[in-house]
Chains A and B, each alone.
Chain A
Amino acid sequence: MRWLVIKAVNLLIVLVAVTFIVAAMTSGPMAQIQINQYKQALQQQVKNQLGLTPQERMEWVNERLQTYIESQGLNKPWYILSLKYTIDLLKFTDLNSTTLTSMYWHQGSRKVLYIIGERIPFSILLFTTSSILTLLFALPLALYAARSPGGRVDNTVITWSVFGVSMPWWWLAMVFIYLFAYKWHIFAGPGAQTDWTNIVDVLRRMALPVITVTILSIGDSAFRMRNILLDTFNEDFVTVARAKGVPEHDVLMKHVLRAAAPPIVTIVLFSLVLSVVNGAIITELVFNWFGMGRLYWDAIESNDVPVLVELTYITTLLYLLTRFALDILYTYLDPRVKRA
């Protein structure tokens, strides 16, 4: 169990480091936003205080604001503030957005956690579907490619992976939207009316993003799988199996694939997760998909720092947890890996 603890500790360190960096970079604006929000609330309250002169009202607000600032430690230097926000983020303390509001979950709420929470399922839905589809298509392709390295299929896979890596996903998304949604009217485009609570609507809307992401990631995934398979083909036990006279088909399915499955599943899934975190943000923006990536854009557009900060924290958390889960999966699938 020692490796598990080490991985978990590593995860925590990374999480705290990221959170601290983000909190340190944004502590100034965050504190200002918090003070302004409390001041606004106080100014609303002071209207109910009857019989006060304007002078007294101002004093009433300022007094309470000072107490609040001191109790929250908002007048402290930046490193203390950063520490405060780091702890706030790690504890999921409720932050309030400045302009954005949630649309479905606690409709109209300003709580950042609700705003982000309602978007998470959409991102997961989109990218899990395309990951599964990618695996389904890439594996046969990789098998064909690995059987005859340098053959036509192999070259296709290599070229495909070159284009998949060297291309901004969102650019192909723009081209596909133009062709499939606006020109040929095959799929729903990003401007289509979508009721995000209606599953049929969402699925209809999902087709084009899923196709785009899948097409782009198949090449790279297949290339990685092919490399793993080629390595496995060179192992001694494959030579032995062939020498024994095992039919080529059985060599492939029973010996090679069994041995290569764990790294294929984990490495490919891992590279998918990585590419999703890095590629999803802008892909979702272009497709106008109601997910976390789109929320990044909304937060930037409306200068909503609390949302941006919390969103970065949650993205990091999800990303690290997925990595962690894949690590465990790998060691579980492959008994050869020493759990040391």
Chain B
Amino acid sequence: MPNLKHWKESFSTNSRIIWMSFSGKTGIILLILFLVMAGYVVAFYYPTITTEYAQGVTALWPYKYPVNAPPCWSVSNKFNQRIDIRYGDLNKTGIEKTLITVQGLFGPIKIEGYKTEYFYKFKYKSNAFPSDVLVSTAVRVGENVSFIKLYYTLDRPDGSRITFYDSTLQTGKITALYGAIERKGNNISVLPLGLTYISQSNRIYSFLMRSLQKLYANTSIIVNPIIDNELLFAKVVNGSKGETLVPLKGDYTINITAVFLPEKGVSPTSNRGSVNLTSFEWKFMPNCYGLFGTDNQARPIGLGLLLGVPFAFVIGFTVTFVSTFVGAIYGTLAGFWKDIRGEALMRVADIVNSLPFLPILIVLSYIFRQSITLMVLAGLMILLFWAGPVIVIRSAALQISEQLYVEAARASGAGASRIIFRHIFPQVLPYTIAIAVLSIPGIIVTEAGLALLGFGDPTAPTWGKMLQNAYNSQAILNGWWWTYLFPGLALVVFSATFLLLGRAIEPIVAPKLQK
């Protein structure tokens, strides 16, 4: 390769020229930063975490992150107290004898039964509310228990009591009083559920609702059907803005008491004749998370921003480089053939160029929506965007094909393909680089737009999909500004990187493009 030394030299001078301009410097620094991030994601997160993130596997996240938590720098009143109550933390009394009052035929009857109690005391010290209260509780009642009543309460420092459960249970079964039971092989695990996610069919719901309504009966506070976890730890204060909720600090006690009666001849301590708490966990999530917050599926926005980087690169680079390469060859041919063939090629390119891209892209994506992947999207975009650079490339090729050395090559008997690929095309290539770099932002923005309309790769956590999730969860109305502000900013910075680079490259590779 005789050209190698020349290329090396021109590369070093050119990169120095790019580095000299402000936009070039900024662009290169940002590009390196993005490349490092993309490499990090590909090395450590691809493909498991990226897919999980994109599909929003909520079961994996709630233990780790709060839901809809704003970034910590924007929250002045932080919930900084970490409360994490596990099964082992519970105090347990042994099985004691007690008198059970049962409704008999002629009024209440007292029977001698047994009682077992679990309790936990904690101090609520924070000035703010937790973002989420995650709770999982499961109780197993033996097969030979003839009577069971369970009381599940939270005693508050002001002497009031919130009831979670106050009723009987099915025997011979594990009952989830909170959260959802999931079967994994033979092991039954209880997934935690946030208080706000309790469905109305959950056993807890009606008890909790009734008890909260009673607690706030004399105030203007309305207990919403979606139970707000603030209400557990709140007291009403009359301020300038009317009645508001502030945290009620002090000692709280979680209490779970089972009163039961085993069948005759069955020991109350045996597995078949007793009542046991099989799983218990309470977790209070902080009311803010990191620099970027979390979304409505408890996914950290910051992680999403990082995970989106390689996908932005993939879609941007695939579309631009394939379409610019196709367009470059096409334009070179159109410039080389100065007869009817070149004219025909230009007509076709004109037609493709005057298509309204987005409407057609939407129809195409709609048709392929069942099987849409990042590569299908890229293919569709290439189909529409390849003709973009043709006009510029053709005029460059026209000029070059009139140069003396091309004439000389032709005179010395070089064939058409040799002239095109050996003499014209390499000269045209620099133009294509600038065009390719400059068209990346458009591609990224288009992809985000399609994602917002629902045409996104289900396994790719792109920034567009984050925006779609924010839009679909009514984030604007709910005031969760961090869920759409940061992905959008990431898009802007990523696009701007390539615009800056393109502007810096332009004067070097194609002085004519400057106009």
Residues of chain A at the chain B interface (Cβ within 8 Å): 10, 13-14, 17-18, 21-22, 25-26, 162-163, 165-168, 170-172, 174-175, 177-178, 182-183, 190-191, 227, 231, 277-279, 281-282, 285-286, 296-297, 300, 308-309, 311-312, 315-316, 319-320, 323
Contacts of A10 in B (CB 8 A): 350-351, 354
**Complex contact A22–B476 (CB within 8 A):** no
Assess A178 versus B359: contact at CB under 8 Å? Given A25-B367, A168-B488, A286-B471: no
**B303 interface residue per 8 A CB criterion:** no
9 shortest A-B CB distances, which residue pairs? A166-B495, A171-B488, A278-B358, A166-B441, A319-B356, A315-B359, A277-B356, A166-B496, A312-B359
**B360 interface residue per 8 A CB criterion:** yes
**Complex contact A282–B360 (CB within 8 A):** no
**B342 interface residue per 8 A CB criterion:** no
Contacts of A285 in B (CB 8 A): 452-453
**Complex contact B492–A166 (CB within 8 A):** yes
Contacts of A190 in B (CB 8 A): 476
Of the candidates B363, B442, B445, which one forms a contact with A26 in the assembled complex, judged by CB atoms under 8 Å apart?
Answer: B363
Of the candidates A166, A178, A309, which one forms a contact with B479 in the assembled complex, judged by CB atoms under 8 Å apart?
Answer: A178
Assess A175 versus B484: contact at CB under 8 Å? Given A14-B351, A182-B479, A227-B515: yes
How far is it, in angstroms, between the C-alpha of A57 and the C-alpha of B167 when the chains are bound? 58
From residue B474, how far is it (CB to closest CB) to chain A in Å? 9
**Complex contact B454–A300 (CB within 8 A):** yes
Contacts of B452 in A (CB 8 A): 170, 282, 285
Contacts of B454 in A (CB 8 A): 300
**Complex contact A312–B358 (CB within 8 A):** no
How far is it, in angstroms, between the C-alpha of A227 and the C-alpha of B477 when the chains are bound? 41
How far is it, in angstroms, between the C-alpha of A286 and the C-alpha of B366 when the chains are bound? 19
Assess A162 versus B515: contact at CB under 8 Å? Given A10-B350, A177-B476: no
How far is it, in angstroms, between the C-alpha of A269 and the C-alpha of B496 when the chains are bound? 24
Contacts of A18 in B (CB 8 A): 355-356, 360
**B509 interface residue per 8 A CB criterion:** no
* Given A166-B441, A278-B357, 19 other A-B residues pairs in contact with their CB atoms under 8 A: A10-B350, A13-B351, A18-B360, A25-B363, A25-B367, A162-B500, A163-B492, A166-B445, A166-B496, A166-B499, A182-B477, A191-B477, A282-B449, A285-B452, A297-B453, A300-B362, A312-B360, A312-B362, A320-B354
Residue in A closest to B496 when the chains form the complex, CB atoms: A166
**Complex contact B488–A175 (CB within 8 A):** yes
Residue contacts A-B, CB under 8 angstroms, 20 given: A14-B351, A14-B355, A17-B351, A26-B363, A165-B499, A166-B491, A167-B445, A168-B448, A171-B484, A171-B492, A174-B476, A178-B481, A190-B476, A227-B515, A277-B358, A279-B358, A297-B453, A300-B454, A312-B362, A320-B354
Residue in A closest to B494 when the chains form the complex, CB atoms: A166
Of the candidates A13, A174, A296, A319, which one forms a contact with B362 in the assembled complex, judged by CB atoms under 8 Å apart?
Answer: A296
Contacts of A231 in B (CB 8 A): 515
Contacts of A277 in B (CB 8 A): 356, 358-359
From residue A178, how far is it (CB to closest CB) to chain B in Å? 5
**Complex contact B356–A316 (CB within 8 A):** yes
**B109 interface residue per 8 A CB criterion:** no
How far is it, in angstroms, between the C-alpha of A282 and the C-alpha of B488 when the chains are bound? 14
Contacts of B477 in A (CB 8 A): 182, 191
Assess A168 versus B479: contact at CB under 8 Å? Given A10-B350, A300-B362, A300-B454: no
Contacts of A178 in B (CB 8 A): 476, 479, 481
From residue B404, how far is it (CB to closest CB) to chain A in Å? 29
Contacts of A171 in B (CB 8 A): 448, 467, 484, 488, 491-492
How far is it, in angstroms, between the C-alpha of A315 and the C-alpha of B361 when the chains are bound? 13
Contacts of B357 in A (CB 8 A): 278
From residue A292, how far is it (CB to closest CB) to chain B in Å? 9
From residue A317, how far is it (CB to closest CB) to chain B in Å? 10
Of the candidates B354, B366, B492, which one forms a contact with A167 in the assembled complex, judged by CB atoms under 8 Å apart?
Answer: B492
How far is it, in angstroms, between the C-alpha of A180 and the C-alpha of B476 when the chains are bound? 11
**Complex contact A168–B453 (CB within 8 A):** no
**B414 interface residue per 8 A CB criterion:** no
How far is it, in angstroms, between the C-alpha of A227 and the C-alpha of B503 when the chains are bound? 14
* Contact digits for B338-381, partner A, Cβ 8 Å, 1 yes 0 no: 00000000000011001111111011101100000000000000
**B291 interface residue per 8 A CB criterion:** no
**Complex contact B363–A312 (CB within 8 A):** yes
From residue A19, how far is it (CB to closest CB) to chain B in Å? 11
How far is it, in angstroms, between the C-alpha of A166 and the C-alpha of B438 when the chains are bound? 10
How far is it, in angstroms, between the C-alpha of A236 and the C-alpha of B92 when the chains are bound? 96
* Contact digits for B474-511, partner A, Cβ 8 Å, 1 yes 0 no: 00110101001100100110011001100000000000
How far is it, in angstroms, between the C-alpha of A320 and the C-alpha of B354 when the chains are bound? 8
From residue A135, how far is it (CB to closest CB) to chain B in Å? 22
How far is it, in angstroms, between the C-alpha of A183 and the C-alpha of B481 when the chains are bound? 11
Contacts of B354 in A (CB 8 A): 10, 14, 320, 323
Of the candidates A171, A279, A323, the one having the most CB atoms from chain B within 10 angstroms of its own CB is: A171
Residue in B closest to A286 when the chains form the complex, CB atoms: B471
Contacts of A191 in B (CB 8 A): 477
Contacts of B446 in A (CB 8 A): 278
**Complex contact B367–A26 (CB within 8 A):** yes
Assess A165 versus B441: contact at CB under 8 Å? Given A25-B367, A171-B488, A296-B359: yes
**Complex contact A165–B495 (CB within 8 A):** yes
Contacts of A26 in B (CB 8 A): 363, 367
From residue A62, how far is it (CB to closest CB) to chain B in Å? 30
Contacts of A167 in B (CB 8 A): 445, 488, 491-492, 495
How far is it, in angstroms, between the C-alpha of A17 and the C-alpha of B485 when the chains are bound? 40
* Contact digits for B436-462, partner A, Cβ 8 Å, 1 yes 0 no: 000001100110110011100000000
How far is it, in angstroms, between the C-alpha of A166 and the C-alpha of B496 when the chains are bound? 6
How far is it, in angstroms, between the C-alpha of A166 and the C-alpha of B356 when the chains are bound? 19
Contacts of B359 in A (CB 8 A): 277, 281, 296, 311-312, 315-316
Of the candidates A166, A183, A278, A319, the one having the most CB atoms from chain B within 10 angstroms of its own CB is: A166
How far is it, in angstroms, between the C-alpha of A295 and the C-alpha of B488 when the chains are bound? 24
Contacts of B479 in A (CB 8 A): 178, 182-183
How far is it, in angstroms, between the C-alpha of A286 and the C-alpha of B355 when the chains are bound? 24
**Complex contact A182–B476 (CB within 8 A):** yes
Residue in A closest to B445 when the chains form the complex, CB atoms: A168
Of the candidates A175, A279, A282, the one having the most CB atoms from chain B within 10 angstroms of its own CB is: A282
